[in-house]
Structure 1
Amino acid sequence: MASQPSQGLVLGYTTLHPFSQIPLSDRASVQALLRALLDPLEPFFSPLKARVRCPGATAVRFDQTASEVEGFARPLWGVACLLAGGGSYRGTQWWIDGYRAGTDPESTEYWGYPSDNDQRMVEMCPLGFALAVAPQIWEGLSERERGNVEAWLGNSINEKNMPNTNWLWFRVFANLGLKKNGGKFSQERLDADIKHLETFYRGDGWSNDGPEGIHQMDYYSSSFAIQFLQLLYSKLAGEEDPERAAEFRKRAQMAALDLAHYYDEEGRAIPFGRSVGYRFAMVSFWGALAYADVELPAPLTWGMVKGIVMRHLRWWQTQHDMWSSSGTLTIGYSYPNMYMAENYNSPGSPYWACLAFICLAVPETHPFWTSEEENHWDVLPKVKALKHPGHIMSNLGGHCMLLSSGQACSYPMKGTHAKYGAFAYSSAYAYSVPPGLLTLEQYALASQLGLSDDGGEYWKTRRLSESSLQTRGGTPVLVSLWSPFPDVHVKTYLIPPHESTPNWHLRAHHIRAEGRAVMTADGGFAISNQRAADGRLLGLYDAAAGEGTRPKLIGNYDTVTPEGWADGREGAFAVSKGAVGVRALEGKELGNGRTAMLVNADPNSNLVESRTTIPTLQGTVAKGESVWYVTAVYAKPSAEGVKRDEYLSGWEAVPGVPGWLREEMGQ
């Protein structure tokens, strides 16, 4: 199925993006999907084709030229994979011309040599990979033009400092692309970078995104960079570096059994960490397994791997609000959202999503393509503790969820506490970021415990913590120690769901307010705050309609109306696209009697739903007091075959407090 670019892209009130209109079943349909993603970029190429200025005038921490180089280079991931697999794209010449002009110092569209820690270095990775796998690019250049590419792609980056992170892989691929074409490159630099990247390895297939002292294992450790690029390296350099290639494949085998837990039956990945605006790049690891000829570890099959990729792409086809009016990807997740963006997300940044199309470089005879899709959850354990990332994974209650402790970005990223420090992350209920810094409505504390010492204006949450993965009563438990204020200390236990109560997980907090009094707010998952019939905000729960909240959602920063509050043990819930809720399980003698309510979160705080509400338990801890909170968090997502009157079917089946925890609490 081919797109029809000559007719132009027509988007309007009732018109779906061509990306969403392609039935996905085989390799040819995924090729068509990529073309539908690339076609809208055509009008945004510069005259000499070296730059792409995607719609949106947002600034980033690097210069505008680098931003437009990003717009040029990132779609090249998809183009290169398509060409490597024998496919074709009508705009291939655009990128060949862009190489020519962008690396020519005499051109008006010259990219400019990178300085230390320059964003141009990131974009050298797809530029180098494309050279390595699509020979028509190098062959389309003259001898002089190849010299310009050598000087820009090799010499310039080899002489500069780079961040001590996954970025080092980008220089590896800049050199590798030149090497594969007989160009000038630095084998010494290539070897030194890989040797240093080896220091990031932590074991069992997992690499950290940085050196000792940093605990950050998100999608960069797998699909966005490290595992993905290790696999590409093993394919492209395996004959010359067989030992390392074999080691990278072995690591991928081990990691695959863990990473499979991040993707649910609906095709959704669990949003976690930074750069989730790269969207379907979240599944690039799985296509890379096939590309690198990895032998899958039991019990995974190629039908399962194919299923993960295809279901994920289909889910993104249902996210109709992620496009600009011109048909290009926007900064955001399910809809345009600058609140969740990093300071390096330019308008062209989302096209790192094209990593997902590595599967197109896989031959059509490979079992990845010839196998029937299968469900990996037919063979995986429903609960699994992952030592290295500090996660407990769960697929109970209708969604994939991870409980997390200990991870943190190494620098003060916007919303970093929400991206790494929340207690739970769900494939059905995405995390929320703060659009402002006053009151709970703006902080949007989904799956977070907030503490305030000023009456509820400013809130502190978990960001940095000391954590450990333990086993209590035969169940994996995450324990973290953190201090939102220098004289307030919290010990948090995270306990995964049990098959007997699959819709609940528990979190217990021991709070010692040694030097000040604090208010507390313990939030559950954020859920859509819209009625199905008319899109207006949820009203009081109506069992007949199967939607609403209890207690009443007051909103508008109203904190005194009695109808908006309930006893903590009675709890609070919201029902729309499934149901979420929270209940307090501690006795009043331990927790000072918390109350339950619904936070009407500010719009655009959540990644997937632009209007949300968050069931929340609130309490107070006096100066010098030590209290225990035990919060039961409920979640039952909507799904095919689940009726509205079943959303609250597990609400009354509240789990008990485990005996070991009662003993810890002194009960």
Structure 2
Amino acid sequence: MIYDPARANPLFGNPLKTRDDLAKAVIDLFEPLLPYFSEGGARVRLGATGAIFDRAAADLEGFARPLWGIVPLAAGGGHFPHWDLYRRGLANGTNPAHPEYWGDLADRNQRLVELAAVGFALTLAPEHIWEPLSDSDKKTVAAYLVTARDLEFIDNNWKFFRVLIDLGLERVGVAFDHGKNLAYLDELEAFDLGGGWYRDGPVRRVDHYIPFAMHFYGLIHTVLARGDEARKDRFRERARTFARDIRHWFGSDGAALAFGRSQTYRFAAGGFWGALAFAGVEALPWAEIKGYYMRHLRWWSVMPIADRDGVLSTGYGYPNLLMSESYNSPGSPYWALKFFLPLALPEGHPFWTAAEAPQPDFPEPVALKPAGMVAMHTPGNVVVLSSGQQHDKMRGANEKYSKFVYSTRYAFNIEADDRNFAAASLDGMLGLSDDGVHFRMRESLEEALISGDQLYSRWRPWNDVTIETWLLPANPWHIRIHRIATPRALSAIEGGFAIERADFNADRSEQGEGRAVWYGQTDVSAIIDLSPNPRTGHATSPIPNTNLIHAKTLLPQLRGEIGPGNTVLVTAAMALPNRENWAEALDNPPACPGLEELQQRFREKGVRVPAFALQL
């Protein structure tokens, strides 16, 4: 029988329409893990790949992360048949005398992350994981958790992990000093950017950690913490405001915007909608919230995201280590189970009784000012222009944070070889080379501004080369203007959207002066040069396994040479599904805008992007 990767997905075939369907999904996702539990229940090792932390911490990750789905299932009255395994594992993993001990705790250690799930379990389901333990096992577990909460957590969303550990200890009657918890909550609130957005620490970036971490844990706090009512009100109000923005990171088909790090957590991105329900925050009508929530999981249910045995793989749309982070172990993807938080709610809750509503129409571009983004809803897709953010300490950071444009339908490519300029993708990006071999692209920024629905950034690929970039929506197109000042000649490649490639070379392309188009079996992608001296169109097929959603892609590019001095490049790019009227769009590209008028607009009305404004 031919291997069908979609059928290996434990969600495959589940209609995912009802609360019962989601309860079944939790069990279906968990059961493939059972053969990989250690004899003592404390270690779950799902693969041979490594992470920056030790194997014991990775095994704890495999043990703890499924609890994010199991605990709400049980709290809402659902049946989970393996609590004895989790109780045994918890007792053994925290016992220094047991062979399966998880290891000693330390400041800023991965174990602190995973123990948050244990704290969550003690808070919401103590009758299953705590109360049946012997008195001696309770003392062992409590001592381990108390040690954890007294250590230093990284200055970002990690500080919520101490909060969650504390909630668990408080729920089961273990005494501790609450002062550190309150200090961390104050420090977390200091990351507020306004408009419902946070930073994830003292950094110049926002990403999915804002919905699936900062808001997610804050909303859990509003339900499970005692007192602290003023802070709870602030958490709820920020989430209510944020919902009106973050819905523009979701396509009408349920796909989320692939942007930033930790994409291997997959449907955790939709956990924010479930957290609103858990906290009783009707930020949008319940029917609309439920629509965003359910469509998202259905989108994932047909993707080849699991290995042959049904274990979730490291990757995004398919198994792919190229896009992973150094902190991704084989157990990391199971943070996706944070999605199932609303299973803790009774079936009569208005979230569950509401009929799903479709995504509203958004005919005009939507500015997401705190993030320095502009969203355009195109057929079957949301295109998000980005002024650029930065993360300089991870592989693929340029691609994950600094491209000019991101998309729910087409995702983005990770460069596979930074010493092969001719084979570079540079989708949604301008790449430059001074030797024809190595290349650079936008990384860190000197400035990022937003004016209405238009964006500006200034960046330096080399110390002596300055580029100013303006981004303008022109639905379904978008326009990029680059003013380049360089003391030497450079080669340039600029890419459009990467679309799926068919087998047997069944796709068709055209390329020529100032234009390249791929006519794929599912989508059409085009890039056009609006500059006075057009570059050459090039229809390329990027290195396989570089795109997050599709293993093989097609990409239109513009290629050319830039002489010393000042050069202006103007680019228009778009992609549409085949079922849409792409021919009309292709025949009517946008006109070249006036640069002087654009400069004047930003001088008068440009506002610094809040996500970028932090002084480092």
Tell me which residue corresponds to 1:567: 513
Does 1:549 find its partner at 2:521?
Answer: no
Does 1:509 find its partner at 2:454?
Answer: no
Q: Could you tell me how far 1:614 is from its partner in structure 2?
A: 1.5
Tell me which residue corresponds to 1:233: 221
Helix, strand or coil: the match of 2:546? coil
Equivalents in 2 of 1:114, 1:429: separation in Å? 41
Tell me which residue corresponds to 2:604: none
Equivalents in 2 of 1:89, 1:251: separation in Å? 34
Helix, strand or coil: the match of 2:586? coil
Tell me which residue corresponds to 1:143: 135
Q: Is the 8 A contact 1:517 1:622 kept in 2?
A: yes
Equivalents in 1 of 2:463, 2:595: separation in Å? 29
Q: Is the 8 A contact 1:155 1:185 kept in 2?
A: no
State which drifts further: 428-437 or 228-237. 428-437
Tell me which residue corresponds to 1:414: 395
Does 1:194 find its partner at 2:185?
Answer: yes
Helix, strand or coil: the match of 2:130? helix
Does 1:287 find its partner at 2:235?
Answer: no
Q: Could you tell me how far 1:419 is from its partner in structure 2?
A: 0.1
Paired residues for 1:206-217 under 5 Å:
206-211=197-202, 214-217=203-206
Q: Could you tell me how far 1:382 is from its partner in structure 2?
A: 3.9
Runs of 5+ unmatched residues, structure 2: 601-616
Tell me which residue corresponds to 1:562: none
Q: Is the 8 A contact 1:154 1:186 kept in 2?
A: no
Residue identity matched to 1:529:
R
Helix, strand or coil: the match of 1:596? strand
Does 1:218 find its partner at 2:207?
Answer: yes
Equivalents in 1 of 2:6, 2:358: separation in Å? 33
Sort the Cα spacing of 1:305 and 1:441 in 2 relative to 1 into closer, same or farther, 3 A.
farther
Equivalents in 1 of 2:93, 2:384: separation in Å? 43
Q: Could you tell me how far 1:637 is from its partner in structure 2?
A: 2.4
Tell me which residue corresponds to 1:369: 352
Equivalents in 1 of 2:183, 2:104: separation in Å? 22
Q: What TM-score do the two structures reach when normalised by structure 1? A: 0.87
Does 1:76 find its partner at 2:67?
Answer: yes
Q: Is the 8 A contact 2:433 2:490 kept in 1?
A: yes
Tell me which residue corresponds to 1:462: 442
Sort the Cα spacing of 1:261 and 1:396 in 2 relative to 1 into closer, same or farther, 3 A.
same
Helix, strand or coil: the match of 2:309? coil
Q: Is the 8 A contact 2:240 2:281 kept in 1?
A: yes
Q: Is the 8 A contact 1:399 1:428 kept in 2?
A: yes
Post-superposition CA distance 1:449-504 (Å, at most 9, x none) = 0010002x111000111343433xxx51110000001111100001113xxxx321
Sort the Cα spacing of 1:41 and 1:441 in 2 relative to 1 into closer, same or farther, 3 A.
farther
Sort the Cα spacing of 1:359 and 1:441 in 2 relative to 1 into closer, same or farther, 3 A.
farther
Paired residues for 1:466-505 under 5 Å:
466-471=446-451, 476-497=453-474, 502-505=475-478
Does 1:351 find its partner at 2:324?
Answer: no
Q: Could you tell me how far 1:397 is from its partner in structure 2?
A: 4.1
Choose which of 481, 489, 497 in structure 2 pairs with 1:525.
Answer: 497
Equivalents in 2 of 1:15, 1:173: separation in Å? 36
Equivalents in 1 of 2:104, 2:83: separation in Å? 24
Residue identity matched to 1:395:
H
Residue identity matched to 1:125:
A
Does 1:245 find its partner at 2:232?
Answer: yes
State which drifts further: 142-151 or 33-42. 142-151
Does 1:393 find its partner at 2:375?
Answer: yes
Tell me which residue corresponds to 2:607: none
Post-superposition CA distance 1:133-191 (Å, at most 9, x none) = 01221112122211111111122341x22221111111111111111111133311111
Q: Could you tell me how far 1:18 is from its partner in structure 2?
A: 4.1
Equivalents in 2 of 1:274, 1:13: separation in Å? 24
Q: Is the 8 A contact 2:6 2:12 kept in 1?
A: no
Choose which of 33, 39, 43 in structure 1 pairs with 2:35.
Answer: 43
Tell me which residue corresponds to 1:334: 317
Sort the Cα spacing of 1:16 and 1:116 in 2 relative to 1 into closer, same or farther, 3 A.
closer
Sort the Cα spacing of 1:15 and 1:357 in 2 relative to 1 into closer, same or farther, 3 A.
closer
How many equivalent pairs are there? Answer: 598
Equivalents in 1 of 2:280, 2:419: separation in Å? 52
Helix, strand or coil: the match of 1:222? helix
Sort the Cα spacing of 1:364 and 1:655 in 2 relative to 1 into closer, same or farther, 3 A.
same
Does 1:108 find its partner at 2:85?
Answer: no
Tell me which residue corresponds to 1:4: none
Q: Could you tell me how far 1:326 is from its partner in structure 2?
A: 1.4
Sort the Cα spacing of 1:23 and 1:482 in 2 relative to 1 into closer, same or farther, 3 A.
same
Tell me which residue corresponds to 2:570: 630
Q: Is the 8 A contact 1:406 1:466 kept in 2?
A: no
Residue identity matched to 1:525:
F
Q: Is the 8 A contact 1:114 1:157 kept in 2?
A: no
Residue identity matched to 1:628:
V
Runs of 5+ unmatched residues, structure 1: 1-9, 539-546, 552-565
Choose which of 45, 48, 62 in structure 1 pairs with 2:53.
Answer: 62
Post-superposition CA distance 1:3-35 (Å, at most 9, x none) = xxxxxxx97689554421111211001101111
Equivalents in 2 of 1:461, 1:181: separation in Å? 52
Q: Is the 8 A contact 1:205 1:255 kept in 2?
A: yes
Sort the Cα spacing of 1:441 and 1:648 in 2 relative to 1 into closer, same or farther, 3 A.
farther
Sort the Cα spacing of 1:390 and 1:288 in 2 relative to 1 into closer, same or farther, 3 A.
same
Q: Is the 8 A contact 2:11 2:302 kept in 1?
A: no
Tell me which residue corresponds to 2:384: 402
Tell me which residue corresponds to 1:544: none
Helix, strand or coil: the match of 2:270? helix
Helix, strand or coil: the match of 1:598? strand
Equivalents in 2 of 1:291, 1:36: separation in Å? 22
Sort the Cα spacing of 1:308 and 1:14 in 2 relative to 1 into closer, same or farther, 3 A.
closer
Does 1:657 find its partner at 2:598?
Answer: no
Q: Is the 8 A contact 1:132 1:181 kept in 2?
A: yes
Paired residues for 1:448-459 under 5 Å:
448-455=429-436, 457-459=437-439
Equivalents in 2 of 1:660, 1:483: separation in Å? 20
Does 1:264 find its partner at 2:282?
Answer: no
Equivalents in 2 of 1:636, 1:372: separation in Å? 29
Equivalents in 1 of 2:505, 2:204: separation in Å? 39
Q: Could you tell me how far 1:613 is from its partner in structure 2?
A: 2.1
Equivalents in 2 of 1:155, 1:522: separation in Å? 52
Equivalents in 2 of 1:348, 1:629: separation in Å? 45
Choose which of 10, 16, 20 in structure 1 pairs with 2:12.
Answer: 20
Residue identity matched to 1:454:
D
Q: Is the 8 A contact 1:208 1:215 kept in 2?
A: yes
Q: What TM-score do the two structures reach when normalised by structure 2? A: 0.94
Tell me which residue corresponds to 2:162: 171
Residue identity matched to 1:613:
L
Sort the Cα spacing of 1:21 and 1:180 in 2 relative to 1 into closer, same or farther, 3 A.
same
Residue identity matched to 2:495:
G
Does 1:118 find its partner at 2:97?
Answer: no
Residue identity matched to 2:508:
G
Q: Could you tell me how far 1:412 is from its partner in structure 2?
A: 1.9
Equivalents in 2 of 1:583, 1:462: separation in Å? 21
Q: Could you tell me how far 1:577 is from its partner in structure 2?
A: 2.0
Tell me which residue corresponds to 1:254: 241
Residue identity matched to 2:513:
D
Q: Is the 8 A contact 2:5 2:306 kept in 1?
A: no
Q: Is the 8 A contact 1:68 1:348 kept in 2?
A: yes
Percent sequence identity over matched residues?
38
Residue identity matched to 1:168:
K
Equivalents in 1 of 2:52, 2:335: separation in Å? 18
Q: Could you tell me how far 1:536 is from its partner in structure 2?
A: 2.3
Q: Is the 8 A contact 2:5 2:308 kept in 1?
A: no
Equivalents in 1 of 2:477, 2:596: separation in Å? 16
Tell me which residue corresponds to 1:554: none
